[in-house]
Amino acid sequence: GPALLFVKTSQGKEEGRRFYACSACRDRKDCNFFQWEDEKVSETRLAAREEYNRNHQPFFTHRQNVDRYKNFVLLPLSKRRFCQECQQLLLPAEWEKHSDHQFLCDITTAQLKSPSQLLYPLENKKTNAQYLFADRSCQFLLNLLFGLGFRRVLSVGTPRLHEMIQSKASEEEEFSVRSLLLDIDFRYSQFYTEDEFCHYNMFNHHFFGGEAARETCRKFLYEENGERVIMVADPPFGGLVEALASSFKKLMAMWRETEKEGHDSREMPMLWIFPYFFESRILDFFPSFSMMDYQVDYDNHALYKHGKTGRRQSPVRIFTNLTPSMIVLPEEEGYRFCTACQRYVSSGNQHCEICNSCTSKDGRRWKHCVLCKKCVKPSWFHCNNCNCCTLEKHSCEKTDIGCFVCGKAGHKRSACPSLSCT
């Protein structure tokens, strides 16, 4: 899909030079597309790029994958193989070609229903950053959505939530929830029809399946028979908030346009799962959102597991435009209701009388600084040189350009303390 326009700033210069680069890959090693905004592209280079793109298409189309799946499920257990190297379901005629690859045998229906367990997570931080929800967190999200009365979930980059909804819906009759997965990981097209999965890039709102896929999404967002829909997104944390916000706004607009009379001035309900240190960035784009204290845990991310076991606590939170008091957090995991704030908070999060809010972002008890006029991390001290609270050990020189990640002055993106744990 479309590239994003970036700007290269060099120190001392007012204006930087603008260039286009891949929206999905934040590492030039993964995608080397680069073009100055004002560059004249030769016919030869254009042709070479098109040739490159043609050669890098997935081997099978989504339609072909759907047909293959239909044939696959007809096979007896003993003939159901999954090639681990190609990450592909194999039909018997193809065994030969994959004979020197590792494969799994006897693929059960249960395995086909949880592709996120069958496929290996694409952990490449700069592109897919596929971190799967721990069961506990996934269950929590699902119960929350269902309890709030939502019956349709637009799952943006949440394959595990999608599959949990799908399996529960197929097993329990009273659980009538549908999900549409939008994800850039095309491997999922082997397990879901075009009505269940769209190959989608959430950094530029590109549907790889073209108008037909857009239409699928549009139809899904149309709320028939009072079935309310919500969007749940869990993007890669290295992603640009601005690009993500722009795509989410487009999905929200799609929802708004499905209703002839319009949804008054309502905003499409959404849960955006992202680290707490992006709070101010997210609120810049979505002022109606608030951050919940709930810590989202992941299976394959050693650092983001639940705090109670002595491990580090997860910095990942839920941002939502739903009324905070409706998001009930589990007491048995240490959350409580603050009547003054009208929301559930971490047990360690003390209500500050001066700020009139439960101010902790990370679950630890924060302390109020009268000079900064706000609560700060327990490990911080007020530095009179810098005129703000910061770590006791720091160098007082400031760089005046704000960090690209957290927006704060004093350090560059590469040294951003927020990213040290991602």
Binding site for Zn ion (CB under 5 A): 338, 340-341, 351-352, 354-355, 358, 368-369, 371-372, 375, 382-383, 385-386, 389, 396
352, containing H or E segment: strand 351-352
Write out the two tokens for 362. 């990370």
Nearest to 166 by CA among 138, 207, 201: 138
The conformational region for residue 46 under phi > 0 = left, psi -120 to 50 = alpha, else beta, is alpha
- Binding to ligand SAH by residue 232, rule CB under 6 A? no
Give the one entry of Zn ion, ligand SAH, none that residue 351 binds, where binding means its C-beta sits below a cut-off of 5 to 8 angstroms depending on kind: Zn ion
CB of 371 to Zn ion, least distance (A): 5
Task: Pick out residues in 7-36 that bind ligand SAH (CB under 6 A).
Answer: 24
Shortest-Cβ-distance residue relative to ligand SAH:
157
Answer left, alpha or beta for residue 410, where phi above 0 means left and psi between -120 and 50 means alpha: left
Query: Could you tell which of Zn ion, ligand SAH, none binds residue 128, using a CB distance below 5 to 8 A set by kind?
Result: ligand SAH
What is d(CA 12, CA 18) in angstroms, rounded to the nearest whole number? 16
To Zn ion, the closest distance from the beta carbon of 294 in angstroms equals: 15
- 382 makes contact, choosing from ligand SAH, Zn ion, none, with CB < 5 to 8 Å by partner type, with Zn ion
Q: Which is nearer to ligand SAH, 254 or 375 (CB)?
A: 254
**Residue with Cβ nearer ligand SAH (117 or 258):** 117
Among residues 130, 190, 313, 360, the one that binds ligand SAH under rule CB under 6 A: 130
Q: Does 183 bind ligand SAH (CB under 6 A)?
A: yes
Cα dihedral sign, 53-58-59-60:
negative
Q: Look at residue 201 and give the partner it binds from Zn ion, ligand SAH, none, a contact being a CB closer than 5 to 8 Å depending on partner kind.
A: ligand SAH
Residue 51's SS3 state is helix
Residue number, 196 or 234, with CB nearest to ligand SAH: 234
User: What CA–CA distance (Å, rounded) separates 180 from 159?
Assistant: 10
Report the chain's terminal Cα–Cα distance, integer Å. Answer: 27
Q: Which of 118, 140, 179, 185 touches ligand SAH (CB under 6 A)? A: 185
Minimum Å distance from CB 284 to ligand SAH?
21
Q: Which of 115, 157, 209, 363 binds ligand SAH (CB under 6 A)?
A: 157
What CA–CA distance (Å, rounded) separates 171 from 181? 19
Site for ligand SAH in 194-223 (CB under 6 A): 200-203
List the one residue out of 66, 338, 351 whose CA is nearest residue 197.
66
Which residue is listed with tokens 């592909």? 88
With CB under 6 A as the contact rule, which of the stretches 64-72, 123-131, 254-262, 358-366 interacts with ligand SAH? Answer: 123-131
Angular region, 398: left φ>0, alpha ψ -120 to 50, beta rest:
beta
Burial grade of 374 (CB within 10 A; 0-12, 13-18, 19 or more): middle
CA torsion 158→164→166→169, rounded to 10°?
A: -140
Q: What is each CA distance from 308 to 14, 291, 299, 313, 335, in whole angstroms?
A: 49, 21, 15, 8, 12
Min dist CB 332 to Zn ion, Å, is 20
Q: Is 68 helix (H, G, I), strand (E, B) or coil?
A: helix
- Nearest approach in angstroms of CB 383 to Zn ion is 4
- Considering the complex, state which of residue 183 and residue 362 has its C-beta at the smaller distance from ligand SAH: 183
- Shortest Å, Cβ 145 to ligand SAH: 13
Task: Name which position in 140, 141, 159, 360 contacts ligand SAH (CB under 6 A).
Answer: 159
Q: State which residue, 306 or 411, has the beta carbon closest to ligand SAH.
A: 306
Interface with ligand SAH (CB under 6 A), residue from 142, 186, 234, 315: 234
Nearer to Zn ion, 44 or 339 (CB): 339
Q: Is 189 in the site for ligand SAH (CB under 6 A)?
A: no
Give dist(CA 210, CA 157) in Å, integer.
19
Chain centroid to CA 297: how far? 13
**Of the listed pieces 11-19, 129-137, 330-338, 400-408, which binds ligand SAH according to CB under 6 A?**
129-137
Residue 14: CB minimum distance to ligand SAH, A: 32
Residues that bind ligand SAH (CB under 6 A): 24, 128-133, 157-161, 183-185, 200-203, 234-236
